[in-house]
Amino acid sequence: MKKTLVVIKPDGVQRNLIGEIISRFERSGLKLVAMKMMQADAKLVEKHYTIDPKWFENVGNKAIESYKKKGMTPPNSDPIAVGKEVLERLKKYITAGPVVAMVWEGSSAVPLVRKICGGTEPLSATCGTIRGDYTPESYQLADGAERAIRNLVHASGSTEEAEKEIALWFNNKEILDYKLIRDMIIYDVDWSF
């Protein structure tokens, strides 16, 4: 069993999509083991996105690629500098209003949650995913307005990232250990009515 962090970002809260988003994880067979509504501050956002030291470079490369795809010149050719700019935008975005932080547990929780959320850019995210279904947001719209991509949810990118992110957002007491009768049907070898 693995755990992963999901955060409904301020646009998800403001769009009244909290219930809709939670229901997608509930019906997937994952188990909710922690949840709280809170106001994040810039310090938390910075810590969160710098957990993986390669994040600046990765996000910078992704952003530069998206500029090139549109035939535009990236604001900077150094991926780390572009990554740092994205972080500044993220601080504004994630602290703009309350968020809902959750921990979901289950088999392959990290990739399953990423699949349910869809790709980073809602416009190109697959239909049927949270990001693909609820917003026309694109790299073009976000970069044109010099803001972060408003994509409704955060989901941990790897098990290692998930462990560190969960420890950042929750203390041990907030994470519950309990059984769901439903899990017998999902996981047990033998079960009968």
Residues forming contacts to ligand GDP in the complex (CB under 6 A) are 59, 62-63, 66, 86, 89-90, 120, 139, 142-143, 148-149, 151, 154, 157
Name the strand (E) or helix (H) holding 104: strand 99-106
Given the complex with Mg ion, which of 80 and 183 has the nearer CB atom?
80
What is the C-alpha radius of gyration for the chain, rounded to an integer number of angstroms? 17
Could you tell me which of 142, 150, 139 has the C-alpha nearest to residue 62?
A: 139
Given the complex with Mg ion, which of 13 and 113 has the nearer CB atom?
113
Given the complex with ligand GDP, which of 10 and 106 has the nearer CB atom?
10
Q: How far is the CB of 63 from Mg ion (least distance, A)?
A: 13
CA distance 21 to 37: 14
Q: What is the amino acid identity at position 70? A: K
Residue in 60, 154, 165, 166 annotated catalytic: 154
Can you name the residues that pair with 2 across neighbouring β-strands?
A: 106
| Residue 154 is among the residues annotated as catalytic for this protein | yes
What are the structure tokens assigned to 119, written together?
A: 């790709």
Q: How far is the CB of 155 from ligand GDP (least distance, A)?
A: 7
Q: Which does 115 bind (CB under 5 to 8 A by kind): ligand GDP, Mg ion, none?
A: none
Residues 151-190 that bind Mg ion (CB under 5 A): 157
Q: Is 98 exposed, middle or buried (0-12, 13-18, 19+ CB in 10 A)?
A: middle
The site map against Mg ion for 65-104 (x = CB under 5 A) is ----------------------------------------
Hey, which residues are catalytic here? 154
